[in-house]
Amino acid sequence: MAIVELDPLVREFTAKERPMLIGGEWVPAMSGNTFETYDPSTGEVLAHVAEGDKADIDRAVKAARRAFDEGPWGKLTPSERGRLVHRIGDLIMEHADELATLETLDNGKPFAVAKAADIPLSADLFWYMSGWATKLDGRTTEPHVPYKPGSEWHAYTRREPVGVVGQIIPWNFPLLMAAWKLGPALSCGNAVVLKPAEQTPLSVLRLGELILEAGIPPGVVNIVPGYGETAGAALAAHPDVDKVAFTGSTEVGKLIVEAAAGNLKKVSLELGGKSPNIVFPDADMEKAIPGAAMATFFNHGQCCIAGTRLFVQKSAFDDVVAGVADHAKSLKVGPGMAEDTDMGPLVSKEQFERVTAYLQKGATEGARAVAGGRALERPGYFVEPTLLVDTEPDMSIWREEIFGPVLAATPFDDLDELARQANDTPYGLGAGVWTQDISKAHKLAKLLKAGTVYVNTYNIFPAEMPFGGYKESGWGREMGPEVLESYTETKSVICEL
């Protein structure tokens, strides 16, 4: 098993206790506390990181407020601001190997995947969003005011930054989720306090160093690692935060909404999913079978939009199930830094226990594993890619988000009932359709209650396209022009001439 050689900069980075970024300075937690982050491929301690709490969040929010209200950030032209944001993307690519290694060590994902997907997608997000800095246009109009006949008016709108934004990101795509949040917030002119997930803070802290190197003024971006129940809760509830953006579980998203109610701050949420993935007999099976497998097994199944409910038309069910099972069995499960690894470990012991508990529950409920179905007996948090059949719509493995490499399959026959069955979930983040009948694909895309519908593909995340969900999968959209609404306020200016 060949192991990718560790970048010397990564060795140096993980060997030192990592502080937090507040006001342009790298500082320890006010309490002096640190927490450990672990290598999920071994379960061993990887690094020690400053543990932020309510006091550190308050310090960071004050720094962001000063930077927004008094610092040079608001005096930059949109073109100048956009060039700084673009430079962040450049620096990400210049440090691609280092960042991919940190992402792999901290999260467990294969190095090759991190370098080929996470890193360039993160850079591209900053590049794309940087262009919007100069395009936050208002509009002009000549309003009609019935009760002032003969009057003349000049009216226009302005797009202005919200202010201080609190951002809380998950552990499944640490660097990319930071980019999704920071790119639009900065391009719109906001100041940010970002809390990375406690399981995976390292690549985000390294990104903080690159943000300073790019020339973003002190206090515009503050990074406070810590636990959700302390640092995250304090950020969501802070009275001087104007908006909070959260990506994570639906359960925690509801707590964020409650915490934000104190000052009615704006809230955007990208939450859980239990996405349907539908295969018709006329699909190109050379694409559909591995596509249906990787719709769940990509990123070890730790993907909110994962197509974890597989619907296959009855006449093709046995063949598709056999093909997906063979694909699952062919995946090499191992450490992310091993060159031949297709799927790495789950991110943490907690997630490992959650996923294995669902496997046990599924077996108890009567589901049958035709591939996988168990944990691997080795150090680290490894679970086999699993395909379950004999599923029923009331089973927990069918209805609840597992967030692991567990795919449940069921046959369907009645096309009129298909959309209803696919939509029978509290979530609405994604969906997939595999067919060569383009009319059928577009009809289903209209009927499926999901923020993204993939046709003959899956797990594509272009910066130009909005991403978000219906129902309990969230509020608002990430990426695309649509995300700008989350980070700006619209002001009307009305002048009587």
Answer yes or no: are the C-beta atoms of 492 and 139 closer than 8 Å: no
Mean pLDDT to the nearest integer, 255-263: 96
Parallel/antiparallel/unpaired status of strands 430-434 and 25-27: unpaired
Phi, psi for 312 (deg, rounded to 5):
-125, 130
Q: How far apart (Å, rounded) are the C-alpha atoms in residues 390 and 75?
A: 62
Regarding whether 287 and 261 lie in a shared domain, the answer is no
Q: What DSSP assignment string belongs to 7-56?
A: PHHHHHHHHSPB-EEETTEEE--TT--EEEEEETTTTEEEEEEE-B-HHH
Q: How far apart (Å, rounded) are the C-alpha atoms in residues 478 and 486?
A: 9
Catalytic residue numbers, as ranges? 270, 304
297's tokens:
């097994």
Regarding whether 263 and 352 lie in a shared domain, the answer is no
Regarding whether 411 and 392 lie in a shared domain, the answer is yes
Q: What DSSP assignment string belongs to 5-18?
A: PPPHHHHHHHHSPB
Number of domains observed in the structure of the chain: 2
Supply angle C-alpha 86, 87, 90, rounded to 5.
100
| Radius of gyration (C-alpha) of the chain in whole angstroms | 24
Regarding whether 288 and 259 lie in a shared domain, the answer is no
Q: How far is CA 73 from the centre of its chain?
A: 27
Q: How confident is the model at residue 11 (pLDDT cuts 50, 70, 90)?
A: confident
Regarding whether 488 and 348 lie in a shared domain, the answer is no
245's tokens:
């953006």
In a domain, 13, yes or no: yes
Regarding whether 264 and 153 lie in a shared domain, the answer is yes
Q: How confident is the model at residue 416 (pLDDT cuts 50, 70, 90)?
A: confident
Regarding whether 321 and 213 lie in a shared domain, the answer is no
In a domain, 50, yes or no: yes
Q: Which domain CATH number covers 41?
A: 3.40.605.10
Q: Which domain CATH number covers 400?
A: 3.40.309.10
Regarding whether 160 and 62 lie in a shared domain, the answer is yes
Mean pLDDT to the nearest integer, 323-340: 97
Regarding whether 289 and 141 lie in a shared domain, the answer is no
In a domain, 455, yes or no: no
pLDDT (tens digit, 9 = 90+) per residue, 115-127? 999 999 999 999 9
Q: pLDDT at residue 491 above 80? A: yes
Q: What are the b/e assignments for 206-222, b being 16+ CB within 10 Å?
A: bbbebbbebebbbbbbb
pLDDT of residue 9: 84
Q: How far apart (Å, rounded) are the C-alpha atoms in residues 450 and 444?
A: 11
Q: How far apart (Å, rounded) are the C-alpha atoms in residues 30 and 26?
A: 12
Query: Strand pairing partners for 381?
Result: none
Average pLDDT, the chain: 97
Q: How far apart (Å, rounded) are the C-alpha atoms in residues 176 and 197?
A: 13
Sign of torsion over alpha carbons 219, 223, 229, 233: positive
pLDDT of residue 2: 67
Write the single-letter amino acid at 142.
E
In a domain, 469, yes or no: no
Helix and strand counts by DSSP (H, E) for the chain: 16, 22
pLDDT (tens digit, 9 = 90+) per residue, 153-168? 999 999 999 999 999 9
Largest Cα span, the chain: 83
In a domain, 464, yes or no: no
Q: pLDDT at residue 1 above 70? A: no
Residue 201 CB contacts under 8 Å (≥ 6 apart), including other chains: 18, 37, 49, 106, 174, 225
Residue 270: helix, strand or coil by DSSP?
A: strand
Regarding whether 306 and 225 lie in a shared domain, the answer is no
In a domain, 463, yes or no: no
Q: 43: how many CB neighbours lie within 10 A of its CB?
A: 14
Helices (H), 160-201: 174-187
Regarding whether 124 and 40 lie in a shared domain, the answer is yes
Regarding whether 314 and 184 lie in a shared domain, the answer is no
pLDDT (tens digit, 9 = 90+) per residue, 168-203? 999 999 999 999 999 999 999 999 999 999 999 999
In terms of residue numbers, what domain contains 65? 8-271+484-494
Query: Strand pairing partners for 166?
Result: 193, 244
> Which of 286, 305, 287, 283 has its CA nearest to residue 295?
305
In a domain, 366, yes or no: yes
Mean pLDDT to the nearest integer, 247-270: 96
Q: SS3 letters for 98-146?
A: HHHHHHHHHHCCCHHHHHHHHHHHHHHHHHHHHHHCCCCCCCEECCCCC
In a domain, 318, yes or no: yes
pLDDT of residue 263: 95
